[in-house]
Chains A and B, each alone.
Chain A
């Protein structure tokens, strides 16, 4: 399953790089290298939301670096 993080300019300002970095670490922590693929994405049209735009299993989420762990635990790790 693809875990897509927006790297457009708005999300970049919301520290999308830090979200990507944390997701990479979390994928390793949860041993999900085989099932979750981390990908970049251009704008998905949710710039007005409060965090970085993340798409997983066709759903769009808004994630901040400090909520990345919680999001990963409840959404990504749970679904797999």
Chain B
């Protein structure tokens, strides 16, 4: 497999921790061996990334805890929301000592001194060696940044704070990053954003492996449509076969749940259109969290249809009661959706990263497995990309002979989601349907994917086959009988 090829050291370390944890869990000796993982991974006494090997091992030790479903040791348990998935690993945080406005070497010590004149606080002095900012006077207004003709003054923010779309990251008295669980939507942007890998997501992988090994109940996987393209050239049937080899009794496509959601959401949209009120999508958990935590007044507009994950889970449970259900996706926020709202329905949610670690631990090569049939339509699969939900809902409307010309606002990424909700709140968004996807590009751009979206999207687009009619697919499979409304 050519995945992980162009991956940074951070993702490699995370993968290596997950892989070794998975291996020990499969081998049944995790509780005897887990404290050896830091020593297996970091040998000798010469540090590779940090100040010393002891700190490197401590960081690995905390990562192993998270891989085992525990919080980092130094996070205050009492302060954390129980379903909070994203956590800072304090020992890995470098406390980036960044002063926000900095003069760079581009400064030519010019005569114009536009920066000095632009500063309303008299914080800048010009010296023969370049402009100097008195940080005690600087109010970070940014006027000098705009004024410099050489672009020599830059505004830099801590990458974690910059990456967070909901301003949930702060610093404690030691400059260590902290997450405010009241604001955090668990999107995982900071997990990707921190260049030191000091923020990570807690895993349910070990419990999944335990359920697979126990074999007292059937365990079924539900894979998100964004999996297409994650394993390079491997096809979806091949990926499903590889997942079966891990010990899953069956693999369902969440895209089938997306067909069910489109089927129901189209009817819901027709009703709301008739009543003259807008509706937003409800499939993206970070978007739903954004509405819930930051725009509570708009909650009434969120579609009451469950997410495709929950829809397909209820279908599976209706035909195979008593199975253990495991969602596998590119998404960190899905773990929060399961923990916070559906812990009594869905058993576990894991990510593609965790799936890949499990496959590597068991030495399963995806390409080598044989073919198997697919279940969903191309429209259900389309839920994985920006614009796909709107497309599927419009498709159902057109199949039913209704007005398929949906006035939609497709929000591609957190910034567009926030902007649209702000307009909606102000009554200035004249659309019928708001499609909220918190990650840029849709789920394929999710924080726990294995492949850059530019690469995976190419494969995804060529594979967009499957059944053509959503209504037919849903009704012929009897999917319209399952309850897909919130609070069953």
Contact = CB atoms under 8 A, between A and B. Distances in A.
Contact of A40 (B65, B80, B340): B340
Nearest to B34: A9
Contact of A9 (B68, B339, B341): B68
Given A40-B338, A40-B340, A42-B202, A9 B82 contact: no
Given A39-B82, A41-B82, A42-B84, A9 B340 contact: no
A42 B248 CA distance: 24
Interface of A is mostly: mixed
Interface stretch (A13-21, A62-70, A71-79): A13-21
Contacts of A2: 82
A40 B69 contact: no
Nearest to B205: A9
A43 B70 contact: yes
Interface string B323-358: 000000000000000111101100110000000000
Given A39-B339, A40-B338, A42-B202, A24 B69 contact: no
Given A8-B68, A8-B69, A47-B70, A41 B210 contact: no
A55 B81 CA distance: 11
Contacts of B202: 42-43
A41 B339 contact: yes
Contacts of A47: 70
A39 B69 CA distance: 16
A57 interface: no
Given A42-B71, A42-B202, A9 B207 contact: yes
A23 B343 CA distance: 11
Interface of B is mostly: loop
A2 B338 CA distance: 15
Contacts of B68: 8-10
B69 A43 contact: yes
A52 interface: no
Nearest to B65: A43
Interface residues of A, number: 24
A27 B392 CA distance: 37
A44 interface: yes
Contact of B69 (A4, A21, A42, A45): A42
A7 B339 contact: yes
B448 interface: no
Given A9-B210, A12-B210, A39-B339, A44 B344 contact: no
Size bracket, chain B contacts:
20 to 34
B417 interface: no
B417 to A, nearest CB: 25
Contact of A41 (B30, B65, B83, B207): B83
A26 to B, nearest CB: 11
B443 to A, nearest CB: 22
A78 to B, nearest CB: 22
Given A2-B82, A7-B204, A42-B69, A20 B77 contact: no
Contacts of A13: 210
Contacts of B347: 17
A21 B344 contact: yes
B89 interface: no
A7 B80 CA distance: 15
B82 A44 contact: yes
B339 A43 contact: no
B389 interface: no
B71 A43 contact: yes
A24 B488 CA distance: 13
B213 to A, nearest CB: 11
B77 A40 contact: no
A44 B206 contact: no
Contacts of B206: 9, 12
Interface string A17-51: 10011011000000000000011111111010000
Nearest to B202: A42
A4 B65 CA distance: 20
Contacts of A23: 344
B344 A20 contact: yes
Nearest to B339: A40
A42 B82 contact: yes
B220 to A, nearest CB: 15
A21 B343 CA distance: 9
5 contacts: A7-B69, A8-B68, A20-B344, A41-B82, A42-B82
Interface of A: 2, 4-5, 7-10, 12-13, 17, 20-21, 23-24, 38-45, 47, 55
Given A43-B70, A43-B71, 14 more contacts: A7-B204, A7-B343, A8-B70, A9-B207, A10-B68, A21-B344, A23-B344, A24-B344, A39-B343, A40-B339, A41-B82, A42-B83, A42-B84, A42-B85
